[in-house]
C-alpha cells in the first residue's frame, strides 16, 4: 500500500514508534485516528510524497507502535505525551519543523502538539474533529449515539478491554461500519491491517487509555490553555465530513477559532473517514494549504 516508502521504528518518549517514510520536500507528519493505524493514508500518501517528505506514524498504543500499560492518571496516554512522541520522532529524522495532516485521534494529538510546541509546527490540517473540550461540552443525543465509544472506552480497566477482546472484529466492524458510508471506504487490504492490530490485547488497552486520558487529564490541559490564553499559533485548516456528526454537534470553525489564531476550513461531501472515503477531495484542499 505504501510503494516506495520505507518502514522504520524510532525510540521516542520512552517507547518505540512505528512509521513509514517516503517522498521528497518539506517534512509532513501524518497522524491517524481510532481504531486505525498509519494505513488510513494509503490512498493519499503517494500523491503527498510527490510534494513532501511524508512521515506516517502509528500513535502510541496503536498499530505496531509500543503499547505501555496505562498509568493510574492515564498521563502516559495524554495527548501531551503522545505529541511528545511525535516531536521526538521528527527530530530523530532530522525534521525540527514540519507540517501536520491529522485525522480523528491523531488530530487531537496534533492540536496538543501545536500548542505545546509552537516552534515545531509550520501548518496544521485537521480532519473531522472539533476541539476535545468543545465536543464534551456540547454532547447531545446524536453525538452520544454515533460516538458511543467515547463513553464506553473510558470505563475503568478491564471492562471495555474484556468486551472488545471477546470479539475484536465485531467491534471494528461496528465502529468503522456504523458511520454514513458503512465499510465501503475501506479496501480489503487496509481492513485486514486494522483487524490484525486490534486483535492484539495491547492495542485494545492502548486505545482505551487514549480515550480515558481525553476524558480526564487532556481536559485539564485544555482548560489550562483557555485560562492562560494559549492558542494554536500556526495556520490551521479544519475539514470535516458533511455527512458525519461533528458539524451537527458544533460549528467546527467557531470552536477552532476559540483555540487557534488563524483558522479556515469547510465541510466535504463525505462522512468521518475522509482520507479513505474522499481522498481526492482531501488532496484538493490540503495540497494548496500545506504548500
Query: Which set of grid coordinates corresponds to residue 112?
Result: 496538543
**80-106 confidence digits (pLDDT tens):** 999 999 999 999 999 999 999 999 999
Number of Cα atoms under 13 Å in the Cβ half of residue 178: 13
pLDDT band for 18, please (50, 70, 90 cuts): very high
Omega before residue 165 within 30° of 0, cis: no
Is residue 272 part of the annotated active site? The answer reads yes
Active-site residue (options: 32, 42, 205, 272)? 272
The answer to whether the CB of 16 falls within 8 A of the CB of 9 is yes
Active-site residue (options: 58, 85, 104, 225)? 104
pTM over 0.95: yes
**139-150 confidence digits (pLDDT tens):** 999 899 999 999
Nearest to 111 by CA among 95, 97, 127, 91: 127
**177-214 confidence digits (pLDDT tens):** 999 999 999 999 999 999 999 999 999 999 999 999 99
pLDDT band for 13, please (50, 70, 90 cuts): confident
Query: Which set of grid coordinates corresponds to residue 59?
Result: 500513535
pLDDT band for 215, please (50, 70, 90 cuts): very high
pLDDT at 223: 98
- Region 51-80: mean pLDDT is 98
Cα-to-chain-centroid distance, residue 255 = 18
- The answer, yes or no, to whether residue 229 has pLDDT greater than 90, is yes
- Region 259-266: mean pLDDT is 98
Amino acid at each position: 500500500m505504501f510503494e516506495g516508502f520505507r518502514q522504520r521504528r524510532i525510540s521516542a518518549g520512552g517507547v518505540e514508534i512505528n512509521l513509514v517514510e517516503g517522498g521528497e520536500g518539506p517534512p509532513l507528519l501524518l497522524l491517524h485516528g481510532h481504531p486505525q493505524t498509519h494505513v488510513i493514508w494509503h490512498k493519499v500518501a503517494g500523491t503527498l510524497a510527490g510534494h513532501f517528505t511524508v512521515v506516517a506514524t502509528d500513535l502510541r498504543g496503536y498499530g505496531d507502535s509500543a503499547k505501555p500499560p496505562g498509568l493510574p492518571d492515564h498521563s502516559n496516554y495524554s495527548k501531551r505525551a503522545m505529541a511528545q512522541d511525535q516531536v521526538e520522532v521528527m527530530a530523530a529524522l532530522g525534521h525540527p519543523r514540519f507540517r501536520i495532516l491529522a485525522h480523528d485521534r491523531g488530530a487531537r494529538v496534533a492540536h496538543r502538539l501545536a500548542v505545546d510546541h509552537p516552534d515545531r509546527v509550520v501548518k496544521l490540517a485537521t480532519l473531522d474533529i472539533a476541539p476535545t473540550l468543545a465536543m464534551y461540552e456540547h454532547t447531545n443525543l446524536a453525538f452520544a449515539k454515533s460516538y458511543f465509544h467515547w463513553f464506553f472506552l473510558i470505563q475503568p480497566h478491564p471492562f471495555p478491554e474484556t468486551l472488545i477482546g471477546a470479539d475484536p472484529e465485531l467491534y471494528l466492524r461496528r465502529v468503522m461500519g456504523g458511520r454514513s458510508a458503512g465499510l465501503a471506504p475501506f479496501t480489503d487490504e487496509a481492513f485486514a491491517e486494522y483487524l490484525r492490530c486490534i486483535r492484539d490485547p495491547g492495542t485494545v488497552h492502548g486505545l482505551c487509555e487514549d480515550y480515558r486520558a481525553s476524558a480526564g487529564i487532556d481536559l485539564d490541559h485544555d482548560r489550562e490553555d483557555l485560562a492562560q490564553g494559549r492558542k494554536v499559533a500556526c495556520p490551521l485548516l479544519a475539514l470535516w465530513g458533511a455527512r458525519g456528526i461533528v458539524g451537527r454537534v458544533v460549528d467546527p470553525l467557531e470552536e477552532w477559532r476559540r483555540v487557534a489564531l488563524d483558522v479556515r476550513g469547510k465541510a466535504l461531501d463525505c462522512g468521518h473517514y475522509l482520507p479513505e472515503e474522499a481522498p481526492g477531495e482531501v488532496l484538493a484542499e490540503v495540497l494548496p494549504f500545506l504548500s
